[in-house]
A = this chain, B = another copy of it.
C-alpha cells in the first residue's frame, strides 16, 4: 500500500542471487496464500476497502511491471495494454486509476489470465535479476517485495471480510490448537512496564525501511508505562458488559457517531447467540476464546476501551522506544494460526509483533525532514498523511520478514477489518 527503499543503500549489498531467490520466494507466497480459495473467491469485493484476491495478485505484478520492467527493459512490451489502467491502485503519476469500488466487477481477466500475467512478469524479472541490477534498481525491487508482502496481509484480511460476511461462513483454513496453553483462571492482573523518558531516537536505522520511517530523529518522551500484554477478549467483554458501547462519555465525538451510525455493539466478527459469544475466525465460527487478544476493533473502540480502563493509548514513539531491541518475534503468518494467540505467562512486555497491530494515539504524520521518494513512487506513503492513525507491531497475517521496530502501519480510526488490537499505556504521575 505504501513504501520506500532503504535510504542508506545498504540493501544494495544484498547479493544479486539472494535478491533473485527472495524475489521468487515472496512472489510464490502470494500464490500459496490463495491455495484454499475456490475460483469464485478470487473476484469478490465485499466492501470498497476489501479488494478481490485476484486484484491483489494482478496489482503486485503491475507494480514490478510499471516501476521496474518498463523502466529497465529496453523495448519492453506490456503484457496487456489495459492492465496498466485496471491494476493501478492510486498512482496518479502513472495515469488515471480504475475506480477502486469497481474492482469486484472485473470478472475478466480471469484468474488463469492473471496467473499468466504474473508468470510473464516473473520471467522478465528473473532475466533482469540474473543479469544483476544497480543499487537503485535493486532497492526498487526490494520495495516491490515489501509492497507484495503488504498485499499478502491485505489479501488475508479481505478474504476474511468476504467469508466472515457470507451467511455460510466458509473456513479459509483448518483449526489448530492454540499456541499458548492458558489456565482458565489466569486472568492475571494487568501489568505494566515503566520507562523513564528523555530524548530518544526514533525511525529507521539500517536495512530496508519505507520512506515514512525516515529520517531517524530525536523525540522527547515523558516517563510512561506500557502494558505488558495486549487487551484480551475477556477484558474487552468486561467493557461491553459495563455498557461501554452505550456511554458517550467514553468516546471521541467521531467514535460515538460511528457507534450510532453503524450500530456497533462488539468487535467485528463477534456474534451473540443465546447469551454465548462467538467469533468468526479464518478457521470458522467458534466460541469466543477469552484469553486470546481482542481483534478487529477500530481505533475509536481502542480509545473508548482505554478511557474505560483508566488508561490511554501509547504514542507511536513510546511504543517504538519500549519495543527497543526486543527480538522481532511472535505468531506471524508463517505460524499459520491466522488468528492472534493468547499471551504467555512470562513477565515483561510481550506480544509486540505477530498477533495484532496495535492502535496508537499518534496521527500519521511526516517525520521532521521527511522526503517522499522521487517520481510516482512518492505517492506510496506520503499522500496518505491525513486523518489516519499509526499502528505499530505486526499481526498474525504479517510475514515475519516484513516486520521491524520502526514500521508504521496506518488506518483510519473507524477501520476494523485488519487484525487490529489494543495495548494500553499510562502516564507516570
Interface set of A (CB-CB < 8 Å, partner B): 38-44, 46, 54, 82, 85-86, 90, 92-93, 98, 104-111, 162-163, 165-168, 170, 199, 217-220, 222, 248-249, 251-256, 299-300, 303, 361-363, 365-366, 368-369, 378-379, 383-387, 413, 427
**Could you list some 23 contacts between A and B, CB below 8 A?**
A38-B107, A38-B110, A40-B42, A40-B43, A40-B54, A40-B108, A40-B111, A43-B107, A44-B105, A82-B168, A85-B167, A93-B248, A107-B166, A108-B168, A218-B220, A222-B369, A252-B384, A254-B386, A255-B386, A300-B386, A303-B386, A361-B366, A387-B387
| B107 and A368 contact, CB distance less than 8 A | no
Chain B residues with CB below 8 A from A41, complex form: 107-108
The chain B residue with its CB closest to the CB of A362 is B365
* Given A40-B107, A43-B107: A413 and B386 interface contact (C-beta under 8 Å): yes
Chain B residues with CB below 8 A from A43, complex form: 40, 43-44, 107
| A93 and B220 contact, CB distance less than 8 A | no
User: Interface residues of A: mostly helix, strand, loop or mixed?
Assistant: mixed
User: For the complex, what is the distance from the CA of A108 to the CA of B39, rounded to whole Å?
Assistant: 10
The minimal Cβ–Cβ distance linking A35 to chain B, given in whole angstroms, is 15
User: For the complex, what is the distance from the CA of A248 to the CA of B222, rounded to whole Å?
Assistant: 39
| B105 and A165 contact, CB distance less than 8 A | yes
Chain B residues with CB below 8 A from A163, complex form: 108
User: For the complex, what is the distance from the CA of A92 to the CA of B86, rounded to whole Å?
Assistant: 40
The chain B residue with its CB closest to the CB of A85 is B167
* Given A38-B110, A40-B43, A110-B40: A385 and B252 interface contact (C-beta under 8 Å): yes
| A253 and B384 contact, CB distance less than 8 A | yes
Chain B residues with CB below 8 A from A85, complex form: 167
Chain B residues with CB below 8 A from A162, complex form: 105, 107
Chain B residues with CB below 8 A from A44, complex form: 43, 104-105, 107
* Given A368-B427, A369-B222, A383-B253: A106 and B166 interface contact (C-beta under 8 Å): yes
| B252 and A105 contact, CB distance less than 8 A | no
| A378 and B427 contact, CB distance less than 8 A | no
Chain B residues with CB below 8 A from A249, complex form: 92-93, 378-379
The chain B residue with its CB closest to the CB of A389 is B386
- Which of B110, B167, B385 is in CB contact (< 8 Å) with A86? B167
- Which of B106, B217, B361, B387 is in CB contact (< 8 Å) with A222? B217
The minimal Cβ–Cβ distance linking A168 to chain B, given in whole angstroms, is 5
